[in-house]
Amino acid sequence: MPRALITGITGQDGSYLAELLLSLGYEVHGLVRRVALEDARHRLSRLEGIRDRITLHSGSLESFASLYRAVQIIQPDEVYHLAAQSFVSYSFEDSFSTFRSNIDGTHFVLESVRQAAPHCKVYFAGSSEMFGNAPETPQNEQTRFCPRSPYGISKLTGYELSRNYREAYGMFVCSGILFNHESPRRGYEFVTRKITSHVARIKQGQIRDLPLGNLEARRDWGFAGDFVRAMHMMLQQPTPQDYVVATGQSHTVQEFCELAFSHVGLNWENHVIVDPNFYRPAEVFELTGDSTKARRELGWQPDVDFAGLVRMMVDADMEDGLRASGFGLRRE
Ligand code: GDD
């Protein structure tokens, strides 16, 4: 039975990936912060359905010793390094801690594997934010990186570290350059979930408005459940390589709003307020991915399209709202 260690297992991607690996017969281990183990109800909520089938270890991206210990004890065949400070806006507020978690944390994981389990394969969660304001659209593996945020810089450094460990030590390390991927498990600070959770609360009469920043920003949004399949596929290839993973279709924040509001019979223009507080010091205006290589070499393709994703997220937030208010229970 293959053994996997997932850092960031409590997050959106970590939880989907853990479910996928369990379904493929893996023994799944996760690294979580000690505080998460102490506040399991909230912090492990995404793992609810699989909690008794995975093994959690306490550790932190800030501690080489804890990562080394976990790798040494578990002796994984595959490590999926997903843990990071992943909110771009926050990286402008505290670039120092973003660099510590995302750069040192990645370095610690790679070095732990090199020392304690050198034959283990490693997946590094790169990001389309590394492209920033890229000189071409769509972006592929050859596109020049031009990050526009401390987050993008930190991911680019993690990507270069991964490449260097692959080349210098012959390790099997792949970076996935994933474009935005969303789901009902997305954190509320990201724009898609912020929109769908507000739409549900507006529809249910709890609030009136949705304050947003740049409505013109354009992203290539896919479904996280589709994207974690690509992570696993990369580590099953004969040689370690980096891959862009994206739907190839991009839409503006405004288009996301239009679809989300209209799905529950509302007009976005009556509720969305542009609030300059949500603008970023430096914006990435457009990201659209060209995942030809992943489609050709991995045989990967997404199942959920943009409209399906928006509907899935709005429906889940509507359901959550009804359950919280007791309507769902009464209807059952
Ligand atoms: N969060 C947020 N909140 N974003 C807003 C808002 C708002 O109120 N209003 C407009 N936006 C715009 C942002 O300026 C950005 O252009 C776009 O919506 C998407 O923002 P996020 O959902 O926060 O995601 P992101 O694109 O910055 O980063 C996400 O995707 C990356 C992959 O490209 C994150 O998941 C990163 O961790 C990931 O690497």
Kindly report, as residue ranges, where domains of CATH 3.90.25.10 are found in the chain: 188-219+249-287+304-323
How does pLDDT run across 149-195, given as a tens digit for each residue?
Answer: 999 999 999 999 999 999 999 999 999 999 999 999 999 999 999 99
3-181+223-245 CATH fold: Rossmann fold (3.40.50)
Q: How far is the CA of 190 from the centre of ligand 1 (A)?
A: 6
Q: Whose CA is nearest to atom 9 of ligand 1?
A: 213
> Is 19 among the catalytic positions?
no
Q: Indicate which residue of 127, 162, 175, 250 is catalytic.
A: 127
pLDDT of amino acid 322:
78
Proportion of the chain above pLDDT 70, given as a percent: 98
Angle of the 253-263 helix axis to the 191-203 helix axis, nearest 10: 30
Ligand 1 centroid – CA 95 distance (Å):
16
Within the chain, all domains assigned CATH 3.40.50.720 are found at 3-181+223-245
**Residue 325 in this model has a pLDDT that exceeds 90:** no
Ramachandran assignment for 299, one of left (phi > 0), alpha (psi -120 to 50 degrees), beta (any other): left
**Identity of the amino acid at 56:** L
pLDDT over 70 (residue 328): no
Band (pLDDT 50/70/90 cuts) for residue 331 is very low
Torsion of CA 326, 328, 331, 332, to 10 degrees: -110
d(CA 328, CA 217): 35
The answer on pLDDT for 332 being more than 60 is no
Ligand 1 atom index nearest CA of 284: 16
Domain with residues 188-219+249-287+304-323, CATH architecture: Alpha-Beta Complex (3.90)
Tell me: pLDDT of 329 over 70: no
Annotated catalytic, 91?
A: no
The per-residue pLDDT of the chain, averaged, comes to 96
19 touches 50 (CB < 8 A): yes
- Per the annotation, the verdict on 159 as an active-site residue is no
Determine which residue's CA is closest to atom 36 belonging to ligand 1: 86
CA of 217 to the centre of ligand 1 (A): 9
Output the CA 54–ligand 1 centroid distance in Å.
Answer: 31
Overall pTM surpassing 0.95 (yes/no): yes
**Alpha carbon nearest to ligand 1 atom 19, residue:** 191
Map residue 78 onto helix, strand or coil: strand
- Nearest residue (by CA) to ligand 1, atom 26, is 180
Residue 321: pLDDT band by 50, 70, 90 thresholds? confident
**Ligand 1 atom nearest residue 279's Cα:** 14
pLDDT for 326 equals 59
How far apart are the CA of 77 and the centre of ligand 1, in A? 33
Catalytic residue among 16, 26, 80, 151: 151
Q: Which residue has the tokens 């690509």?
A: 230
pLDDT at 117 over 60: yes
pLDDT-derived band at 273, boundaries 50, 70, 90: very high
- 42-71 pLDDT tens trace: 899 999 999 999 999 999 999 999 999 999
Written as six digits, the tokens of 239 are 């040689």
Please check the confidence at residue 121 and state whether its pLDDT lies above 60. yes
**Mean pLDDT to the nearest integer, 76-80:** 99
Instruction: Encode pLDDT of 277-312 as tens digits.
Output: 999 999 999 999 999 999 999 999 999 999 999 999
Three-state DSSP state, 256: helix
**Pocket residues: Cβ below 6 A from ligand 1:** 86, 88-89, 127-129, 179-180, 189-192, 194, 212-214, 217, 219, 253, 278, 280, 283-284, 287
In contact, 219 and 251? CB cutoff 8 Å: yes
Using the predicted structure, report yes or no on whether residue 17 has a pLDDT greater than 90: yes
Which stretches of 204-278 are DSSP H helices?
224-234, 253-263
The pLDDT tens digits for 96-107 are: 999 999 999 999
